[in-house]
Homo-oligomer: A and B are copies of this chain.
Amino acid sequence: MRVRVLAAVQDLGYRPNAIARSLRKTGTKTIGLVVSDLMNPFFAELARSVEDAARKLDLNVIVGNADEDPGQQDRYIQILLERQVDGLLVVPTEETSTLLHEAAQRDAPIILVDRPARDVNAPVVRADGDQAIADLMTHLKSLGHERIGMIAGPELAGTGRQRLTAARESAARVGLDLPTECIVRGTFRVESGEAAMAHLLDLPAPPQVVFAANGQMGQGAIMEARRRRVSWPEPVGLCVFDDLPWFELLEPGITAISQPVAEIGELAVEMLLRRLAGDEVGDQYRPCRLHIRASCGEELNGR
């Protein structure tokens, strides 16, 4: 009998309806991941490490792409919540999202990834770039630079503010000038890096080195420099927060700060699981690393 039933299952191609199942059962064995921009390799890699970690724990993950748009982000959170995900991993696009705030309060356990979000009652897991940025400033100073510029992130993004603050403080500490007119805000997207670089190069007194606050904007800065046939480290040095795989392939290679992406993704899943189990979990930070190459005048040093 049992055999005949199984044969029929095979024969008819019966597939259990997971939707009906999760209506009756408590959990869905599914978590949601809302990233701010899938075209950014950082988040593509994050998505991958989250998926890998989740798979090992027999959890499914649904990925949503907010495209740095808070409206899109809220839309995805809404959809995922309606689909009864057990928990949510979100890279918040901006600090203020009423939905995120609400959701964190009652719907589902949430872990914030990469960026903090004020007023949202959820633990954060992110890279801590402060030390690496301080290392970078010390490095630039030791190369003999005096005046630098920055392509900063959006004011409302936690990461953006944090990297700017760290750069300002450590620049001041080592005696490097980071004047207000040399700080231009971007949106974390490639195009804004191009525009910002154009602005900096057009300044009456351009900075000696430009520091881009994320990889996408760094790419934009590089593209704008090439377009103008402006090279580095002369007349302008370049360094980037985020290390793209091709930075070392350029000539000269780009000095950059890398984040422990894979580790952050794994940690995020782990933290979410602990919250699902009812534990309280605190914020987690992981250090970044400075990769010194040749885009800031390293080889010209001491000439």
| Residues of A near any B CB (own CB < 8 A) | 13, 15-20, 22-23, 28, 38-39, 41, 44-45, 47-48, 51, 60, 62-63, 65, 67, 78-79, 81-84, 102, 106-107, 190, 219, 222-223, 226, 244-246, 248-251
**Shortest distance from the beta carbon of A4 to any chain B beta carbon, whole Å:** 21
Bound complex: CA of A67 vs CA of B60, how far in Å? 15
**Shortest distance from the beta carbon of A218 to any chain B beta carbon, whole Å:** 11
Asked if B48 and A44 make an inter-chain contact with CB atoms under 8 angstroms apart, the answer reads no
Asked if A102 and B13 make an inter-chain contact with CB atoms under 8 angstroms apart, the answer reads yes
Bound complex: CA of A48 vs CA of B39, how far in Å? 8
Which chain B residue shows the least CB distance to A75? B55
- Copy number of this protein in the oligomer? 2
Bound complex: CA of A78 vs CA of B60, how far in Å? 11
Asked if B106 and A13 make an inter-chain contact with CB atoms under 8 angstroms apart, the answer reads yes
Which chain B residue shows the least CB distance to A20? B23
> Which residues of B lie under 8 Å from residue A51 when comparing CB positions?
65
Asked if A18 and B60 make an inter-chain contact with CB atoms under 8 angstroms apart, the answer reads no
Which of A20, A45, A222 has the most C-beta atoms of chain B within 10 angstroms of its own C-beta? Answer: A20
Asked if A23 and B13 make an inter-chain contact with CB atoms under 8 angstroms apart, the answer reads no
> Which residues of B lie under 8 Å from residue A81 when comparing CB positions?
15
Bound complex: CA of A245 vs CA of B191, how far in Å? 12
> Which residues of B lie under 8 Å from residue A79 when comparing CB positions?
18, 60
**Shortest distance from the beta carbon of A104 to any chain B beta carbon, whole Å:** 12
Bound complex: CA of A51 vs CA of B73, how far in Å? 13
**29 contacts across the A-B interface (CB closer than 8 A):** A13-B102, A13-B106, A17-B23, A18-B82, A18-B83, A18-B84, A19-B22, A19-B82, A19-B83, A23-B23, A38-B47, A38-B48, A39-B41, A39-B48, A44-B44, A48-B65, A48-B67, A51-B65, A60-B79, A63-B63, A219-B245, A222-B246, A222-B249, A223-B249, A226-B248, A226-B249, A246-B246, A246-B250, A250-B250
Asked if A82 and B38 make an inter-chain contact with CB atoms under 8 angstroms apart, the answer reads no
Bound complex: CA of A227 vs CA of B12, how far in Å? 55
Asked if B67 and A107 make an inter-chain contact with CB atoms under 8 angstroms apart, the answer reads no
Which of A23, A190, A244 has the most C-beta atoms of chain B within 10 angstroms of its own C-beta? Answer: A23
> Which residues of B lie under 8 Å from residue A249 when comparing CB positions?
222-223, 226, 246, 250
